Amino acid sequence: MPIVNSRTQDVQADLTLDELEEAAREIRGWVMIALEAAGSGHTGGSMSIADIATALYLQHINHDPADPKWDGRDRVFWSAGHKAPLIYSVLGMAGYFDEMPVSFHGEPLEQFADIEGIQQTVLLRKLGSPFEGHPNARKLPGIEVSAGSLGQGLGVACGAAIDAKLRGADHRIYCIMGDGEQQEGSVWEGAMFAAHHGLDNLVAIIDDNGLQIDGETAEVCNIESLVEKYRAFGWEVLECDGHDMVEVLNTLRRADAVRGKPTVIIARTIKGKCVDFAENVVGYHGVPPKDGRRGEESLESALLCIGVADVFPEERVDEILQFADDYQAAADALVEADMPKFSRDWWWNEGRDMQVEMDATRNGFGNGLREVSGDERTVAHGADITGSIRMDYFYKPDGENEDPERKRRFITCGIAEANMTTVAAGLACEGRIPFIGSYGVFSTGRNWDQLRTTVAYTDLPVKVADAHGGVSVGPDGATHQALEEISVITCIPGFTMFVPCDAHETARATVAATYNNVPTVVRFAREATPVVTTAETPFEPGVANVIRYRGLAVDFVDAFETVLAPDYSSEEEDLAIIACGPMVPEAMRAAWILKEEANLETRIVNVHTVKPLDDAAVVAAAADTGCVITAEEHQVGGFGNLVAGAICRGGLDRPVKLDMIGVQDRFGESGQPWELTKVFGLTAEHIAQAALGLVE
């Protein structure tokens, strides 16, 4: 049934076949414009699922965009949440955003009151916008459940289908998954459950385009034959050409007629469909048009390929993109207005002095991994974001060419973090030194039980790359921003956890982790952060460093002196900032601000090894200053409470003031990394403001 009025059941829109196909083209156009405006996002999968989503939302399902929570609606659960640009565009075309004002963190922006609903989708991945990198059900109508962690949608859909059965309701449940997602074990748990309970009100749709981030699905971790597997699990299996609108609609109707068991539609699609430079190209997962506005691989070229250049003439595209720029400017102004103010701008590299190099800590992990990969005991695992987290450095000793022997010791696991962990445990049982890794939310969260019971309880030296930790992953949003791992890992007996401060220290921590013979996590960021250590900077696992600001220098790193904590003698500083990870450079910049603005002396304690914690360095800082601030790019207290506990156990004979800088009990969101550090209060300016209040 097409879109209806939920109160009267009157049909609101009933598109012809030609109109549906035209709508699919226009939806693709909006996707490409949004990707260009965002500068990032998933092109390939958004294009491959476009025809199916158009058929669902504009013709097949029973729903009312004016009443998104209407109880009689059909439910569509997007397990493949990374297709967010397409989800937003098709919802916008259906009318879900027609009455929704343009807002920043939920507050309407009056200057954009005349913007049409679907045009808001070009605010994809922008700070404060509800159109996050992965769907957020808290912020957008039409999103049934927040998504972005693959393999979870089918189980949620099973729950909704069971509820409908219990209530005797006749609405339908749909779940959209990717083909690479079929590598997750939780999908097959859901498949078994649905068949066992005879959920014939459930239809799963698999976008089978044959590609995932690391390459062809058949090569990364073969999922075929999906037809035979789902049949063996007790499902009705239907196949269709996912780009033939007639065939898609007929297959959806056939699925709805199945009784007694759930149905899966395996839709054969082309990744990047209708954009010639992106079709069947692995490199367009998570990537917007590479040439920007114009050129061979550009927005202009994409709109021509799709066939919507007449719908989106150059003038209209300019206006739409200008709206995105104007929104960003408004967001920037609001962020800057909330920043703590000092006598001057102390931001990174703003002046001629105190210049700092930037490099991504993930590069440091890769460099450390490359250094140890010559040891034949080492093995590494790919979990479908191999290049992004620099795990591919394992088999590229010269940075470019693959070494056959090292490549032989690189084991692809696909999108299957729990299995990757237990496979690594088996290798560790045989004397290997295995490295596993993914986004931190997946490599330390999804598989926490495996890390606790199989790895730690047996004391197996599995090494975990906790990649893209904190808010530095930026536009991907909350589902991919790990802000809890310090808590969940340090509570597991026997684990060591490194949270290094920059790329150099990450490389050294990775080497140290290789040979410490215990389960170990190395947490590192994605985007470039300040490099504040050198080859001469001391690094000893389990021993903190003390850093002191000594005066202005041309290079930021030269303005500080760093020594091992046991070698440091008190200089009667006014306060101590105890920090880990990317907050160490911010603590250093805060020390500079505090000295120049208020003549305060600050002891910075770089706790690169969060577990085991250097209790002696922490207690000494508290005892000598009586004033401590902890700083973490993490849920506040994950690191801070470890420090507070050490201070309380230290038997001090003086009172200690303590404050904590960190994320204040909230999820992350989309935005540029440096924007997010400001919004979440993770900058030197916020540390300095807290310090002034504490010292006073």
Q: What is the pLDDT of residues 566-611, one digit of tens each?
A: 999 999 999 999 999 999 999 999 999 999 999 999 999 999 999 9
For the chain, the structural domain boundaries read: 17-317, 359-530, 545-695
Q: Which helix (H) or strand (E) holds 45?
A: helix 43-48
pLDDT given at position 12 = 86
Bond prior to 225 in cis (omega within 30° of 0): yes
Give SS3 for 50. helix
**Average pLDDT of the segment spanning 96-110:** 96
Determine the length of the chain. Answer: 696
Residue/partner pairs of 559-563 with CB below 8 Å, 24 or more apart: 559/354, 559/592, 560/532, 560/588, 560/604, 562/533, 562/537, 562/538, 562/606, 563/538
Output the DSSP codes for 255-312: HHT--SS-EEEEEE--TTTT-TTTTT-GGGSS---TTTTSSTTSHHHHHHHHT-TTTS
**What class has domain 17-317?**
alpha beta
CB count, 10 Å around CB of 248? 26
In this structure, CATH architecture of domain 359-530: 3-Layer(aba) Sandwich (3.40)
User: Omega before 288 cis (within 30°)?
Assistant: no
Distance separating alpha carbons of residues 691 and 591, to the nearest angstrom: 10
Q: Which of 637, 394, 606, 656 is nearest to 502 (CA)?
A: 606
CB 406 within 8 A of CB 394: yes
Q: Which numeric CATH code is attached to 545-695?
A: 3.40.50.920
Output the pLDDT for position 472. Answer: 78
pLDDT in tens, 547-566: 999 999 999 999 999 999 99
E strand or H helix at 504, and its extent? helix 503-514
DSSP string, 159-199: HHHHHHHHHT----EEEEEESGGGGSHHHHHHHHHHHHTT-
Asked if the model's pLDDT at residue 2 lies above 80, the reply is no
Q: For residue 629, what is the enclosing H or E element? A: strand 627-635
Question: pTM of the full predicted structure?
Answer: 0.96
**How many angstroms separate the CA atoms of 100 and 118, rounded?**
10
pLDDT of residue 1: 54
What is the 8-class DSSP label of residue 123?
A: G
The dihedral of CA 243, 15, 178, 277: what is its sign?
positive
- Mean pLDDT throughout 52-70? 97
596: CB partners within 8 A, 6+ apart: none
CA distance 344 to 152: 48
Q: Which tokens hold the place of 448?
A: 């926490």
Predicted confidence (pLDDT) per residue in 620-652, tens digit? 999 999 999 999 999 999 999 999 999 999 999
Q: Helix or strand or coil: residue 206?
A: strand
What number is the average pLDDT over the span 417-446?
97
**Of all helices (H) and strands (E), which one includes residue 30?**
helix 17-38
Confidence grade of residue 217 (pLDDT, cut at 50, 70, 90): very high
pLDDT at 283: 82
What integer is the mean pLDDT of 479-493? 97
Average pLDDT over residues 108-134: 96
